Structure formats: C-alpha cells, structure tokens
Amino acid sequence: MLNKICKILLRSLWGEDANVKKFRKRMSFLEFFFFGKVFGVSICNKKYKDVSAHIIKPRGCDSSKALLYFHGGGFVSHSPKVYQRFCSRLAKELKCVVIVPDYRLAPEHPFPAALEDCVTVYQEIVKKITGANFRLCIAGDSAGGNLALATMLKIKEIGLKHPCALWLISPAVDCDWSKYDYSDLQKSDPMFTENAFPLMDAYFGDEDKSNYMISPLNGDLRNLPPILVEAGGDEIFRRHPILLENALKSCGGDVIVKIWPRMMHVFQLFTFLPEAKKSISQACQFLENKMNPSETSKN
C-alpha cells in the first residue's frame, strides 16, 4: 500500500517536465507526515559559524558522544525539520545528541556549498571536543549519504580527528549517471525514475562528476572508519552500496552492506514499518559498538 501511495505522490513527478520547483512543492506537502516532536526529546537551534543546525537532545543524554546527521533531499530540498521525528528516535536509541545541519541547497547554492557547510559543522564540533573519550559518528541518507562520505574524505584530507563510524542510508556515491544502466533498476522503484537525476545535477552544475567531492566512490577510501551501508531492494540506487563495498574491500576497508528486500529508498524514515524499526535498532547498535572508547583508540 505504501508503495502504491509513493507511486502516486512521488514517482508521478518524474515526467520530462520535472523540475526543482515542482519537487519542492510536492515535498512541502509530504513533509507534514514526517516532522513532529517526540516525547522525551528537546530540540533547539545552534550556529556553527554561519551554518545553522538542529540540536536534538534526549532525556538522560550521554554528553560524551554525538551523532552528526546529514539529511537527504537531492541537494535541492528538505530541511532538518523534516527529520525531527526520525532523528529524535536515533537520539533516544543512542542516548546522545544528534546534530542535523541545515546546509545550503541548490540551485541557489551550487556545489560545493552543501559540502562546505557539512565540513564546517564537523570542524566546529571537533574544535570543542575536550574529553579524550568524546565519541562522534556521522550518518546521512540519499544526498546526505553522499555528503557524509564526501565529508569523511575531506576530514581525512584536512587531517582532522576521524569519527568512530559512518552509517550511510541509500547513498548516491557515484553521480556520473551515464556510467551505469538504470533502466531495469527504475522499474521496481516506487519513488524515482532516471528523470529525477537532473534535479541533483542542479547542485553539480558543470562540475566534473568524477570529482570525489561529487562522486566519493572515486576518493581515497583507504583507512576510513567502519562503515555501515544500507539500501532498499526495490530502489534505483541499490547498486551504489555494492559499488562502495567492492571499492572499500579492495583497499582493506571495514564495511557492512545490507540490502533490504522489497524496501524503497530511505525506508527508515517510515518509522512505523517493521523493517524500518529493525534497521534503526541494528544501525544504532552498530554505532554504539563503534563509539566504545576501546574500539576507537586508533583514531
């Protein structure tokens, strides 16, 4: 039933006249179903230099750990407000603060604006880390999964302290759409077709899509923290986790990939689904294990 609803409300958008304005209008209607406060969690705004972020803090919060979460939306839509309910659930499961940056969106702010904002927030968080046992993880979905991995590569390039682990949900890790055939993959996707790709191109512009800051699959993937990658078995991006898994394993990376049968793109946001509940619980356990100080001493 959910797949049928998504086909009506989302997949129907992707005609030849698909554009950012239409996508944002449709998403502004659908956002009502996702945002909302969760009992036992407080939410406030904070500035990291010029970048605003939602700070989601659960009751009984462990101040020695945090999760930095980058929201999806194809680089052109969504805001932290849409992720309040989902990230509140993560905060309660992990018993830690979840930080959701309100990074700049395209086409008003093209590449590399979003990535710059994500890196800025990470830098500012790390600057304020004083305790030796402070534990930080990064997560993100869809475009936010792309930004999470690209941010990790920038962290490595700059020489900052590494996060304990990454959780990437339905990430787009190679955004050169011409490299692969998506015609069969799109048939089962209840949300997207290939006609959705030009929306993300509104962020990339005329930049070289082989650039690792656009397609992080092409970056130096050596010596990264443990990574959990998940995707739905029916989504158009379901090949990307496998591509990333192969690339990471070829250089000795610590990676776990889970493709959930019959699930859609970022199904975890539909927190009422049994599969979403199971995914969230397992992912939080993965992050919790990696935030154990004895597991992260090497970073």
Task: Compute CA 215 distance to the chain's CA centroid, rounded to the nearest angstrom.
Answer: 14
Residue 142 among the catalytic residues:
yes
Provide the whole-model pTM: 0.94
Query: Is 111 a member of any domain?
Result: yes
More confident residue, 133 or 149: 149
119 — pLDDT class (breaks 50, 70, 90): very high
The beta-strand segments (E) located in the chain are 41-48, 51-58, 65-70, 97-101, 135-141, 166-169, 227-232, 255-260
Q: Beta 65-70 vs 97-101: how paired, if at all?
A: parallel
| Residues in CB range of 17: below 8 A, 6 or more apart | none
Q: Torsion-angle region of residue 78: left (phi > 0), alpha (psi -120 to 50) or beta?
A: left
Residues in the chain: 299
267 phi, psi to nearest 5 deg: -65, -20
Nearest residue to 91 (alpha-carbon basis) of 139, 131, 51: 139
- Which listed residue (88, 142, 170, 215) is catalytic? 142
Mean pLDDT of the chain: 92
| Domains held by the chain: number | 1
296 — pLDDT class (breaks 50, 70, 90): very low
Asked whether residue 143 carries a pLDDT value surpassing 90, the answer given is yes
Q: Read off the pLDDT of residues 95-111 as tens digits, 9 standing for 90 and up.
A: 999 999 999 999 999 99
Query: Is 52 a member of any domain?
Result: yes
Cα angle for residues 227, 62, 132 (degrees, 5° grid): 70
Query: Is 80 a member of any domain?
Result: yes
Lowest mean pLDDT among 34-38, 95-99, 155-159, 275-279: 34-38
Query: Is 298 a member of any domain?
Result: no
Check residue 131 and give its pLDDT: 66
Share of the chain above pLDDT 70, in %: 95
Check residue 146 and give its pLDDT: 98
Lowest mean pLDDT among 7-16, 209-218, 281-290: 7-16
Q: Beta 41-48 vs 255-260: how paired, if at all?
A: unpaired
User: Is-contact 148 140, C-beta < 8 A?
Assistant: yes
Query: Is 57 a member of any domain?
Result: yes
Report the C-alpha gap between 150 and 173 in whole angstroms. 9
Q: Read off the pLDDT of residues 203-215 as tens digits, 9 standing for 90 and up.
A: 999 999 999 999 9
Query: Is 83 a member of any domain?
Result: yes
Query: Is 198 a member of any domain?
Result: yes
Check residue 216 and give its pLDDT: 98
| 4 CB neighbour count, 10 Å cutoff | 9
Cα angle for residues 79, 234, 32 (degrees, 5° grid): 30
The domain that contains 233 carries what CATH number?
3.40.50.1820
Check residue 299 and give its pLDDT: 44
Query: Is 299 a member of any domain?
Result: no
User: Is-contact 76 200, C-beta < 8 A?
Assistant: yes
Q: Which domain holds residue 126?
A: 2-293
